Amino acid sequence: MRALIAAAAWLLVAGSALAQAYPNRPIRLVIPWPPGQATDLAARIVADKLSQQLGQPVVPDNRPGAGGAIGTDAVAKAAPDGYTLLAASSGPVSIMPNLQKTPYEPLKDFAAVSLVAAAPFALVSAPTFPAQSAKELVALVRANPDKYTFSSSGTGATAHLFSELLHSMAKIKSRHVPYKGSAPAMTDVMSGQIDYTIETVASVVGHVKSGRLRAYGVTTARRSSALPDLPPLAEAADIPGYDAAAWIGYTAPAGTPREILARLSTEIGKAMQAADLKERYLALGLEPASNTPEEFAALLRREQERYASIIKGANIKVEQ
């Protein structure tokens, strides 16, 4: 018994020492998107704070390609020593593996560290669309199945899935028109060629404030800091339980010591309290977020299951 107690005490001391010694060299942050994309911007802002707090540089390394799969896979295969991290996000981690084969298994190949941001979306149309409110839009579309159209940045994109979730919960049917990117999808909504769309608050806020788009509500249960007067669709469209946001977070290769994960999570939590970080996030239409590795791991499991359910229910398929 004494030997077991001694061993447990040694492990506790060793783990504490590991966390205190970490990091003693630069940390590479793999961002599987080009510079300027939302995940890139959010992750870099946090990396700046972590560099100051940890006393070692957290160096962004953009590895774009294959919808985020190339950079994500690179981290899955990296050494689990805490010196390679992933700027993870909904697309390559929660959505893509439910649509096609990926070279990594998200729930097995990564260790959760912490959320860093939530990206709310908003339901919008051209100002000329006849529905003046979210409830009117739902009633109009419900009374005319498949008459109206909605756009997205592509089949299987986050915006497409959030739209399908809304349709399922509101019991409405519209025709999907996929585009190659959110900019052309919104352009045709503003011109009235497409009836409505669900897109990130960051991408619609300028058009809403200028009057080029009418906004009906946000996809999250809480209001967005960027559009504080816009109610949640759960309330505005009378769809209880509708709550959807894209997420951005930090993960590490599976097998990374728990003490390191906990240290990083704690430091991210501190970074999220900084006023300048909150201001920069607000300008991007993002909501600061953080949690423990255990909480983030549970969220990743829920997101995997939810997207699988949406994709199956809407029978969404993409070309391999």
Average pLDDT, the chain: 93
pLDDT at 17: 54
Span between the terminal Cα atoms of the chain, in Å: 57
Give the residue-averaged pLDDT of 199-228.
95
pLDDT at 319: 73
Q: Which region among 174-178, 186-190, 281-285 has the lowest average model confidence (pLDDT)?
A: 281-285
H or E, element range at 251: strand 245-253
What is the C-alpha separation between 287 and 119, in angstroms, rounded? 6
Give the residue-averaged pLDDT of 107-125.
97
pLDDT digit string (tens) for 155-174? 999 999 999 999 999 999 99
pLDDT digit string (tens) for 136-153? 999 999 999 999 999 999
The proportion of the chain whose per-residue pLDDT surpasses 70, expressed as a percent, equals: 93
pLDDT digit string (tens) for 233-278? 999 999 999 999 999 999 999 999 999 999 999 999 999 999 999 9
User: How much of the chain is helix, strand and coil, in % rounded to 5?
Assistant: 50, 20, 30
Half-sphere exposure of 143 (CA within 13 A, CB side): 7
pLDDT at 60: 98
What is the C-alpha separation between 263 and 124, in angstroms, rounded? 41
Q: Hey, which residues does 176 pair with through a beta bridge?
A: 150
CB 126 within 8 A of CB 53: no
What is the C-alpha separation between 280 and 299, in angstroms, rounded? 25
Give the residue-averaged pLDDT of 194-203.
96
pLDDT at 45: 98
Residue 318 — pLDDT band, cuts 50, 70, 90?
A: confident
Cis omega (within 30 of 0) for bond into 23: yes
Task: Please check the confidence at residue 14 and state whether its pLDDT lies above 90.
Answer: no
What is the C-alpha separation between 282 and 244, in angstroms, rounded? 18
Contacts of 269 (CB under 8 A, 6+ apart): 114, 290
pLDDT at 35: 95
Task: Please check the confidence at residue 121 and state whether its pLDDT lies above 60.
Answer: yes
Total Cβ atoms within 10 A of residue 238? 13
Structure tokens at 56: 């070692």
Task: Please check the confidence at residue 7 and state whether its pLDDT lies above 50.
Answer: no
| H-type alpha helices, the chain | 2-21, 38-54, 69-76, 90, 96-99, 106-109, 134-143, 158-170, 182-190, 201-210, 233-236, 258-271, 275-284, 293-314
- In 3D space, the residue among 172, 148, 116, 145 whose CA is nearest the CA of residue 287 turns out to be 116
Place of tokens 């409405």: 172
Contacts of 255 (CB under 8 A, 6+ apart): 80, 111
pLDDT at 10: 45
Task: Please check the confidence at residue 281 and state whether its pLDDT lies above 60.
Answer: yes
pLDDT digit string (tens) for 44-66? 999 999 999 999 999 999 999 99
For each of the domains in the chain, give its residue range(s) and CATH number, in order of start: 2-118+246-314 (3.40.190.150), 120-236 (3.40.190.10)
What is the C-alpha separation between 133 and 37, in angstroms, rounded? 31
Give the residue-averaged pLDDT of 126-138.
98
Residue 19 — pLDDT band, cuts 50, 70, 90?
A: low
Bridge-based pairing of strands 175-178 and 149-152 is parallel
